[in-house]
Amino acid sequence: MKLKYLVTLAVIVTVAGVNAAIVTTVKGREKMDIKKEVFGTTKDGQEADLYTLRNANGLTIKITNYGGIVTELHVPDRDGNLDDIVLGYKSLDKYIANSPYFGAIVGRYANRIADGKFTLGGKEYTLAKNEKGINHLHGGTKGFDKVLWEAEPMETDEGPALKLSYTSADGEEGYPGQLNCTVIYTLTNNNELKINYEAKTDKATVLNITHHGYFNLAGQSSGDILSHKLMLNADFYTPVDKNLIPTGEIKSVSGTPLDFRKPTAIGARIDQVKGGYDHNFVLNKPERGALSLAAEVYEKGSGRMMQVFTTEPGIQFYSGNFLNGSNKGKGTVYNKHWAFALETQHFPDSPNKPHFPSVVLKPGEKYEHTAVLKFSTK
């Protein structure tokens, strides 16, 4: 992907009393806007920014450099009406106070590591047990979702982009190695949200980064997602124990309520799954590391469809089971099953499951992961 820094025109305006820089770029055939404004202040006094990107078709996304969080994503329905389809908040304070990873970049290790421990190179590493004192979840007490990333607005041939960079120190949250990582969000003019992840380390470490978007294709304030139809391109899944840790087995979805190989309403069999869906699916891949279709979700009322493509071997399907009304979002209270998540990933607890695809990153290697969310209507 060819990238260029935005150098065309910067105008200072006032938005709700806050100075905001708007960058406009024109490349002959289209006009792209990126707006920057102050989003809030962290508990230690650091200023977080909010970036608004708009593609040539009017799709709009808002991203803060705090946690790389996508706070809003406005996508058209079949009649061309835009609506915000991601759960989240209007203020930074609420993300800091009470957020179940709404729209965030999660890492170093997305998903769960059993008992907060793993062994690498003969040495045992101990991590925070930040899920009920049992598991390590989504990078720990202060994972990638709770740090400030360095942000650069960028212009690409595909559409406006935001590059986020973060250096995770050796030993941060218990992980070995200094990790230099970048995440690039690109809002393409083909109505895609493309997410490119890269990282390098100076010591052998484990790594599994993803984006934890909570989606409701009918609109973030519209109710539950049980009527959304889901297709997962997966013949197999990894069963879990009572603590949602993979048992190590890889089982066929055939004959189970986890069979979404044909489009099926999320709520059609959810009562057959204790607690709801929170499972890793083993994706059917034409070849290892290929960018291929992982999932497709359709919402009949709006006509919106979201397709998920990824280079990763797995995807976590989560049906918003732990939403319980305690999160008051953008003008509404989020209740159980108010959203779904599709997290492209390596498998949970892979550091303790040697037969799972490896998550080890060594010095001299590059971690690369691409996910594409493509939006359309029918």
Assign 98 to helix, strand or coil: coil
In a domain, 66, yes or no: yes
Q: Find the distance separating the first CA and the last CA of the chain, reported in whole Å.
A: 30
Each residue's pLDDT tens digit, 172-204: 999 999 999 999 999 999 999 999 999 999 999
pTM of the model: 0.92
What is the C-alpha to C-alpha distance for residues 221 and 210, in angstroms, rounded to an integer? Answer: 24
In a domain, 7, yes or no: no
Q: How far, in whole angstroms, is CA 207 from its chain's centroid?
A: 15
Instruction: Please say if 212 is a catalytic residue.
Output: yes
C-beta of residue 210 within 8 angstroms of C-beta of residue 107: yes
The CB-side HSE value for 61 (13 A sphere, CA atoms) comes to 29
| pLDDT on residue 321 | 96
- More confident site: 32 or 254: 254
| pLDDT on residue 32 | 56
Q: How confident is the model at residue 31 (pLDDT cuts 50, 70, 90)?
A: low
Each residue's pLDDT tens digit, 221-230: 999 999 999 9
In a domain, 235, yes or no: yes
Torsional sign, CA 84, 90, 93, 97: negative
Helix (H) or strand (E) holding 92: helix 92-97
Whether residue 140 is predicted with pLDDT greater than 70 in this model: the reply is: yes
Domain containing 286 — which CATH number? 2.70.98.10
Instruction: Please say if 355 is a catalytic residue.
Output: no
Range of the domain at 86: 17-377
DSSP 347: P
| pLDDT on residue 291 | 97
Burial of 285 (0-12, 13-18, 19+ CB in 10 A): middle
In a domain, 8, yes or no: no
Q: How confident is the model at residue 313 (pLDDT cuts 50, 70, 90)?
A: very high
Q: How confident is the model at residue 30 (pLDDT cuts 50, 70, 90)?
A: very low
Cβ atoms within 10 Å of 115's Cβ, excluding its own: 16
Whether residue 339 is predicted with pLDDT greater than 50 in this model: the reply is: yes
Backbone torsions φ then ψ of 346, nearest 5 degrees: -85, 170
Nearest to 209 by CA among 154, 258, 147: 147
| pLDDT on residue 33 | 81
Backbone torsions φ then ψ of 173, nearest 5 degrees: 55, 20
C-beta of residue 351 within 8 angstroms of C-beta of residue 271: no
In a domain, 4, yes or no: no
Each residue's pLDDT tens digit, 47-92: 999 999 999 999 999 999 999 999 999 999 999 999 999 999 999 9
Report the chain's mean pLDDT, rounded to a whole number: 92
Find the mean pLDDT for residues 273-279.
95
Backbone torsions φ then ψ of 144, nearest 5 degrees: -65, -20
Find the mean pLDDT for residues 136-142.
97
Residues near 195 by beta carbon (within 8 Å), at least 6 away in sequence: 183, 184, 185, 186, 211, 370, 371, 372, 373
| Percent of the chain residues topping a pLDDT of 90 | 90
Find the mean pLDDT for residues 101-126.
98
How many domains is the chain built from? 1
What is the C-alpha to C-alpha distance for residues 209 and 367, in angstroms, rounded to an integer? Answer: 10
Each residue's pLDDT tens digit, 229-263: 999 999 999 999 999 999 999 999 999 999 999 99
In a domain, 2, yes or no: no
Whether residue 274 is predicted with pLDDT greater than 60 in this model: the reply is: yes
Residues near 55 by beta carbon (within 8 Å), at least 6 away in sequence: 32, 159, 160, 187, 188, 189, 191
- State the catalytic residue, choosing from 212, 228, 279, 369: 212
